[in-house]
Amino acid sequence: MQKGYFGQFGGMFVPELLMPPLLEIEEAMNTIVPSEAFQAEFKALLEDYVGRPSALYRCPNLSKRLGFNLWLKREDLNHTGAHKINNALGQGLLCRHMGKQVLLAETGAGMHGVATATAAAMLGLECVVYMGAEDVSRQSHNVKRMGLLGARIVPIESGTRTLKDAINAALRMWIAEQRTTHYCFGTAAGPHPFPTLVREFQSVIGREAKEQMLRKAGKLPDYVVACVGGGSNAIGAFHEFVPHGEVQLIGVEAAGTGEPGCHHSAPLNLGTPGVLHGAMSMLLQTKDGQIEPSHSIAPGLDYPGVGPEHAGLQASGRARYATVNDSQAYNAFRTLCREEGIIPALESSHAVAWALENVRSIPKKSDVLVCLSGRGDKDMGIIEEFEKNLKG
């Protein structure tokens, strides 16, 4: 199989001008990342700066009510509030090792932007964040955080003014600034080597979770569940378990409002194969190959594509991908707040919702491990708005 493919998905569909910097990152991924020095530095940062290992928490109240053990991998406890920091620090370190001075990032919900701005500040790098103008206004809290951390935020007015357009703009800037700039791609999508590089940095989630499950439950989980936007927290949670065929891997996509014909963010369930942002994967597109707008109540899931490794895992049958709609995610959000005292990100609430919604088909006493990818502080405005509409 060709380099950077997962079955028929993946590849490097980019302008020739981006091939040299991508090949340079691939080379760095294969030589610098596995080196002892890099791994030691990365590990120390994850421990002392991010606060890893993150807790594995068995929800006592919900487990009792549901009849199966609901385990949460607490990425929400990480510094900056989500799994995104694992990848941003990994790539920030790599940027420094490659001798570049600028970290460029795109962001939708703002979590990857905050994580990259944080890594840049700590590692002494400059940071530029591209963000759709629509997202700048939806996620003003994170925009302020990035500003405090010293990042320059560039609002993107083109297209749908969301994440997909921020990625287009970031790729364009990277073409011009490749000599000084590392593009810190925020999820396990995009051209090779990003899906593999991001998975490498995020697989700490599954590695820790496996060790913690064996210690606390004495066995592997029966299900590993994670929300899928681009797919980085999910692939990070899945990777360690892929060889264990008895562990069911469940990715959860956002079904939007769930009404027929509504915008959603479920390319694995409702999309078709195509090429966007440098990779062949599943896509929301018209029959003519134009990219369709996406929607989710969770800004971090609002993306018309998905990482190619997930498309590959779906095609091979190793992982299953389900959908959860906005109100199911909201209900899960409320449930976790009220019954466990944890305010989850709306993205992560999709994964929790899958477990709550499938209580009938999940065998009693199963161990269900859900990746709680982030915390919900950033989502207060969306929640307020959603509740206003519920009442109105």
Partner 1 sequence: MSILTERIRSANASGRKAVIPYLPAGFPDRERFWAEVSALDAGGADVIEIGVPFSDPVADGPVVEAASLECLEHGVTLEWILAELGRRKGAFRAGIVLMGYYNPFLQYGLERLGRDCAAAGVGGLIVPDLPLEESGPLRAALAGTGTECICLVGLNTPPERLAEYARVARGFVYFVSVLGTTGVRESLPEEVLAKLAQVRPAFSVPVALGFGISRPAQVAPFGDLIDAAVVGSALIKRLREGGDGAGFMKDWREGASLG
Which positions lie near partner 1, rule CB under 8 A? 2-3, 11-17, 19-20, 158-159, 164-165, 168, 171-172, 175-176, 178-179, 274-278, 283, 285, 287-291
Hey, which residues are catalytic here? 59, 83
Edge-first strand listing for the sheet containing 152-156: 152-156, 126-132, 102-107, 181-183
> Is the Cβ of residue 178 or residue 227 nearer to ligand PLP in the bound state?
227
The amino acid present at 254, given as its one-letter code, is: A
Interface segment toward ligand PLP; rule CB under 6 A; list 38-46, 105-113, 176-184, 318-326: 105-113
Q: Does 232 bind ligand PLP (CB under 6 A)?
A: yes
What phi, psi does 298 have (nearest 5°)? Answer: -95, 110
Tokens of 26: 């691939």
Geometric angle at alpha carbon 132, from 126 and 133, rounded to 5°: 105
* Cβ-contact 289, 358 below 8 angstroms: no
Q: Does 228 bind ligand PLP (CB under 6 A)?
A: yes
Nearest-approach distance from CB 273 to partner 1, in angstroms: 8
Kindly write out the interface string for residues 68-87 of this chain, putting x where it contacts ligand PLP by CB under 6 A and - elsewhere.
Answer: --------------x-----
Interface segment toward ligand PLP; rule CB under 6 A; list 214-222, 345-353, 361-369, 381-389: 345-353
Segments in 81-203 forming alpha helices (H): 84-97, 111-123, 133-138, 140-148, 163-177, 194-202
Nearest-approach distance from CB 373 to ligand PLP, in angstroms: 3
Indicate which of ligand PLP, partner 1, none lies near residue 212 (CB less than 5 to 8 Å, by partner kind): none
Instruction: State the Cα–Cα distance between residues 321 and 117, nearest whole angstrom.
Output: 32
Nearest-approach distance from CB 272 to ligand PLP, in angstroms: 20
> Is the Cβ of residue 201 or residue 303 nearer to partner 1 in the bound state?
303
Nearest-Å Rg of the Cα atoms of the chain is: 19
> Is the Cβ of residue 34 or residue 289 nearer to partner 1 in the bound state?
289
User: How would you write 71-91 as a 3-class SS string?
Assistant: EEEEHHHCHHHECHHHHHHHH
Contacts to ligand PLP by CB under 6 A: 82, 108-109, 111-112, 187, 227-234, 300-301, 345, 347-348, 373-374
